[in-house]
Amino acid sequence: MNRSFYNRPVLEVARDLIGCVVTHDGAAGVIVETEAYHDSEPACHAFVGITPRTQTLFGAPGVAYVYRSYGIHALLNAVVEPPGVGAAVLIRALEPLRGIEQMQVRRGVSRVEALCSGPGKLTQALGIGLALNGTNLLHGPVVITGRRARWRDVRVAVDRRIGITKAVELPWRFCATGSRFLSRPALAAAEAGSA
């Protein structure tokens, strides 16, 4: 995984991140669900232009954009596309891989399927907080590494994004087909080619 991976159209990166691994503070999981956001559409925070909040989104690709949602949860994104373009991939669900005991302690639940099955859940499970906004995803503290062998040929389903009120029709959600670790089941019909 290198910086050029992120310096591409957001839809490609969102699809290709399925099967990659997120690691932080002794815990890791395989990405099974993502969503794409781009400053050309109103559901994206960057739609309003460069502000203190969206500065990270318009910066270098391969950087973490972490923000607080509903006053409670921290949500993890990977900034993509060249500097000057406000785009990011929201990491929405992981299949737990390592540090499961630590995830169970942080989350206060034991069922493995419930540890990282949502964008707010996975940041809690991995101990990712707002302080990590702007940090580098190639060097850490939060690190994303490439697809493992077993995920090389994962099939990716496409669906509408969840929890938004604008641009709801765009099919910009990507899920590992048939995964038990999604925040919600994906539409079975549509599939995206996996590069």
Partner DNA sequence: CATGGGATTGACT
Partner DNA sequence: GTCAATCCCATGC
Q: Which residues bind DNA (CB under 7 A)?
A: 35, 37, 43-46, 48, 51-54, 57, 65, 68-73, 75, 77, 88, 90, 107, 109, 114, 118-121, 130, 161-166, 183
In angstroms, what is the minimal distance from the CB of 122 to DNA?
Answer: 7
In angstroms, what is the minimal distance from the CB of 92 to DNA?
Answer: 7
In angstroms, what is the minimal distance from the CB of 120 to DNA?
Answer: 3
Q: Which is nearer to DNA, 59 or 152 (CB)?
A: 59
Q: Quote the CA–CA distance of 190 and 138 in Å, as a whole number.
A: 31
**Residue whose pair of structure tokens reads 């994004």 in the numeric block:** 161
Q: Quote the CA–CA distance of 100 and 112 in Å, as a whole number.
A: 8
In angstroms, what is the minimal distance from the CB of 46 to DNA?
Answer: 7
Residues 6+ apart with CB under 8 A from 139: none
Residue 173 DSSP SS3: strand
Q: Which is nearer to DNA, 10 or 154 (CB)?
A: 10
Q: Quote the CA–CA distance of 52 and 69 in Å, as a whole number.
A: 16
In angstroms, what is the minimal distance from the CB of 70 to DNA?
Answer: 4
The three-point CA angle 83-85-88 to 5° equals 100
Furthest CA-CA distance within the chain: 42
Q: Which is nearer to DNA, 117 or 194 (CB)?
A: 117
Q: Which is nearer to DNA, 120 or 146 (CB)?
A: 120
Q: Which is nearer to DNA, 148 or 166 (CB)?
A: 166
Report which DSSP code applies to 72: T
How does strand 143-145 pair with strand 21-24? antiparallel
In angstroms, what is the minimal distance from the CB of 152 to DNA?
Answer: 27
Instruction: Return the axis-axis angle of helices 100-107 and 119-126, rounded to nearest 10°.
Output: 110
Q: Which is nearer to DNA, 21 or 115 (CB)?
A: 115
